[in-house]
Chains A and B, each alone.
Chain A
Amino acid sequence: MAIDKKLLDDLERRQAEAKASGGPERIAKRHARGQLTARERLEGLYAKHTFQEFGLHAQHETRGFGMEGKSLPTDGVITGIGFVDGRPVAGFSQDFMIAGGSLGKIHARKICELMDHAGRGGMPIVGFNDSGGARIQEGVESLSGYGQVFNRNVLMSGVVPQIAVICGPCAGGAVYSPAMMDFLIMTRHSASMFICGPEVIRAVTGQHTTMEEIGSAEAHARDSGNIHFIAEDDAHAIDLVRALLGYLPSNNMMDPPHRLAAEITLSDDLEVEALIPEDSKQAYDVKDIIGRLTDEGSFLEVQEEFARNLVVGFGRIDGVVVGVVANQPLVKAGTLDIDASDKGSRFIRFCNIFNIPLLTLVDVPGFLPGVEQEKRGIIRHGAKMLFAYGASTVPKITVIMRKAYGGAFLAMCSRDMGADLVLAWPTAEIAVMGAEGAVNILYRKEIDEAEDPSARRRELIAEYQAEFASPYRSAERMFVHDVILPRRTRAAVSLALRSLLSKRETRPPKKHGNIPL
């Protein structure tokens, strides 16, 4: 007695119907535009045959407006678990071909149940966003659905990594689920994201703008800083998700996936020294230095186009996953400004949550001076850097390459902000302020009374520079652990990382600190 074939056929028919999405014609059109379907996005992410779907047979509960009896297979969102590099990852993917991917009660419930499951299992959440927004026919049910998703984004924040891919429209309230996730990836040509579109802005304020200016991937990557990566297309977005997951633990109780090399590189790297210009006013590209310190090809830059005066990203050093934070002398002289502080502090906090050691490369002349910076609150924004470093308990290694001046140096993880190891190059200038400013204050009277004040001033500046703008004053007082040849940096950092992998630091219990936001 075998199972009744009719039952098997019925199930297979139901499965095929639910998976048909918009049907072959609309799918072909989508492919012609270079877009994948919602299901193809998840299948592309996961190892073959590992996707376990939850809620394939789900249907909407919309009543009124002629919706009764209408079939919306999956209710416009595909949810489930699959494996990426051997680790489980929860995924949802909105299907624009089912009622425009609009979010109704069941649609929201599917996402919420998936997120709950991911929380219980301790696995990352990846969401592909491609939706026209709220399902208006469902009214406040839809609004409530968004609220339930948002609340879970908050609950899961700091527990499991959350990655949003924006691969279609994402407007109004719908933007806030991705906005509360850890990383946002946006496809260059098919995605848009905004609260109020150009037409609403024009009607209300009279300002003329375009989607390109306010809602495109470029605008969010470069100007608003809302997203972290631009993908050329859906396939590239999937590659970026996989690359990113490769540096992240599945949850906050695990270590990141270090791939410890059997032997640490202890040899010198003379090329690092060739990258540093003789003239300390000459800029260099700090990404070249990062490239020498991290394992070849391992550096994944985050927010490449936003606040380019600070470079952040993930890499490996002899297999150990690190988060790199580095001043970029090529842009705005490497100063910290409002945007750089926001970018840096958020990245530092992410690394701390997920047990990723921090490597800080310092060449900072100060905070960016300017009326605009002061008026927009560089004080509270710059404070985020100090707060984020001070609150981080992961291994913190700081290398002072050249300039390390004043409060901005403290904001780049000085020893006093809890760095476990501070190394300085002989080129380091560690001082409370620049020689010009210091001399003007310290020797005002002497300069005024000199026969040739400007010559005396120059003399004093040179003396001050030689005496105080060096690493040795700090090394004498143990503010830096050692002054090293730049060629030794990779070996020194690699050794330090290995020795700090089991670092544990406990803090007084509290709900959370009050970071100035």
Chain B
Amino acid sequence: MRNFRITVDGTPYEVSVEELDASDAGVSPSASANSAATARRPATPAAKPSPTAPPTPAAPPVTLAGAAGPNDVASPLAGTVVSIEVTPGQQVSEGQPLIVLEAMKMNTHITASRSGTVSAVHVAVGASVTEGQILLSIG
């Protein structure tokens, strides 16, 4: 059983997810059935991809708007990616520029909120991003 926090339209939901193989089907796992967290699982919004996410097939599921984890760098506003200053595997220090977005007639510099290694870049130059979309992750 693994616990996740999923944010849908700004409302955070705590969900517990248990992987069941075929032989377990139909057996009620008592622990999760009694859990209040499981009862509140918002299955539909979590399962379908965000309607505002770019419809590129390569887009990984973590770009679901608003589902930022502690390692993710989310876009503060909707805009277009002008440049990406880092590559996966690169060491970054706090305050270092990561991505430049153009939005509302302005360039917005996204900087690292902490030091670490860039584990993934989820967007490409020229891509349109939505508010809260995960731009990259720092491991």
List A residues at the B interface (Cβ < 8 Å): 205-208, 280-283, 329-335, 365-366, 368-372, 375-376, 403, 405, 434
Contact = CB atoms under 8 A, between A and B. Distances in A.
Interface stretch (B55-63, B102-110, B119-127): B102-110
A335 B14 contact: no
A366 B37 contact: no
Nearest to B52: A371
Nearest to B39: A206
Contact of B107 (A283, A375, A376): A283
Given A205-B40, A376-B10, A333 B108 contact: yes
B93 interface: no
Given A365-B105, A371-B52, 11 more contacts: A206-B39, A280-B105, A330-B109, A331-B76, A334-B106, A365-B104, A366-B104, A370-B77, A372-B9, A372-B10, A434-B105
Closest 10 CB pairs of A and B: A206-B36, A333-B106, A365-B104, A333-B104, A206-B37, A281-B107, A365-B105, A370-B131, A332-B77, A207-B14
Contact of B9 (A205, A335, A375): A375
Interface of B: 3, 9-10, 12-14, 35-37, 39-40, 52, 76-79, 102-109, 130-132
Contacts of A369: 77-78, 104
A333 B103 contact: yes
A405 B106 CA distance: 13
B9 A333 contact: no
Contacts of A208: 3, 14, 37
A334 B106 CA distance: 9
Given A205-B36, A206-B37, A206-B39, A372 B131 contact: yes
27 contacts: A206-B35, A206-B36, A206-B40, A207-B12, A208-B3, A280-B105, A281-B105, A282-B107, A283-B106, A329-B106, A330-B109, A331-B76, A331-B108, A332-B76, A332-B108, A333-B106, A333-B108, A334-B104, A334-B106, A365-B104, A366-B104, A368-B77, A369-B77, A370-B78, A370-B131, A376-B10, A405-B105
